[in-house]
Amino acid sequence: MTGATGAIYAVRKRLYRKLPADIISDLVEPLEILSQGYRIVFEPEAVALEETFEQKNEEMNMRIRVVTRQ
């Protein structure tokens, strides 16, 4: 596994490395952990709740803002 779900993931404090603000952390952070010789573990029982917009266009606009970092 080389990516994480942005809504829920954890990193051991000693393995954390500060990333540039324009980096998509839930993709790059696990790769940084792997590059240090550690593994990424998926926990199928983990649960995260995330609020979404009721209108499709609001949800799409939010996702565009997230991806473009605006």
At residue 43, the pLDDT reads 87
Amino acid 54 reads: E
CA distance 58 to 28: 27
E-strand stretches of 1-70: none
At residue 2, the pLDDT reads 67
CA distance 67 to 27: 12
What are the structure tokens assigned to 27, written together?
A: 């993709």
Q: How many degrees, rounded to 5, is the angle at CA 3 between CA 60 and CA 29?
A: 100
Task: Output the tens digit of pLDDT for each of the chain's 70 residues.
Answer: 667 877 788 889 999 989 888 888 888 899 999 999 999 888 889 898 878 788 888 888 887 887 777 6
| Domain extent listing, the chain | 13-68
